[in-house]
Chains A and B, each alone.
Chain A
Amino acid sequence: MSQYLMSVYYVEGEEPLPDEIMQEMYADTDALNKKMQEAGAWVFGGGLHTPDTATVVRSEDGEFLTTDGPFPEAKEQIGGFWIIEAENLDAALDWASQATVACRAPVEIRPFQDEPAV
Chain B
Amino acid sequence: MADDREIAEIFKRESGRAVATLVRRFGDIDVAEEAVQEAFVEAVRRWPEAGAPPSPAGWIITTAKNRAIDRLRREGLRDDRQTEAVRLLDHDEPEGIEIVEDDQLRLIFTCCHPALAVTAQVALTLRLIAGLQTEEIARAFLVSETTMAQRLVRAKRKIKAANIPYRIPGDAELPNRLKPVLAVIYLVYNEGHLATAGDHLIRHDVADEAVRLARLLADLMPDEPEVIGLLALLLLTESRQQARTGTAGELIRLPDQDRTLWDRSLIDEGQELVRICLRRNHPGPYQVQAAIAAVHSDARTAADTDWSQIVTLYDQLLQFATSPIVKLNRAIALAETGKVSDALATIDRLDLGDYHLFHATRGDMLERLGRADEAAAAYATAAELTANTAEKTHLRNREQQALGFAG
On A, residues with C-beta under 8 Å from B are 2, 4, 87-90, 92-93, 109-111, 113
Contact = CB atoms under 8 A, between A and B. Distances in A.
B174 to A, nearest CB: 12
A111 B162 contact: yes
Task: Say which size band chain B's interface belongs to.
Answer: 10 to 19
27 contacts: A2-B162, A2-B163, A4-B162, A87-B165, A88-B163, A88-B164, A88-B165, A88-B167, A89-B113, A89-B115, A89-B162, A89-B163, A89-B164, A89-B165, A90-B164, A90-B165, A90-B167, A90-B169, A90-B173, A92-B163, A93-B115, A109-B162, A110-B162, A111-B161, A111-B162, A111-B163, A113-B161
Contacts of A109: 162
Given A2-B163, A111-B162, 17 more contacts: A2-B162, A87-B165, A88-B164, A88-B167, A89-B113, A89-B115, A89-B162, A89-B163, A89-B164, A89-B165, A90-B167, A90-B169, A93-B115, A110-B162, A111-B161, A111-B163, A113-B161
Nearest to A109: B162
Contacts of A2: 162-163
Interface of B: 113, 115, 161-165, 167, 169, 173
A93 B163 CA distance: 11
Chain B contact surface mostly: loop
A105 to B, nearest CB: 19
Nearest to A113: B161
Contacts of B162: 2, 4, 89, 109-111
Contacts of A111: 161-163
Contacts of A92: 163
Contacts of A87: 165
Contacts of B115: 89, 93
Contacts of B167: 88, 90
Nearest to B160: A111
A4 B162 CA distance: 8
A92 B115 CA distance: 11
Contacts of A113: 161
Contacts of A110: 162
Nearest to B164: A89
Most chain B beta carbons < 10 A, residue from A88, A89, A92: A89
A31 B115 CA distance: 26
A110 B162 CA distance: 7
Nearest to A91: B165
Contacts of A93: 115
A23 to B, nearest CB: 31
A2 B163 CA distance: 7
Contacts of A4: 162
A7 to B, nearest CB: 14
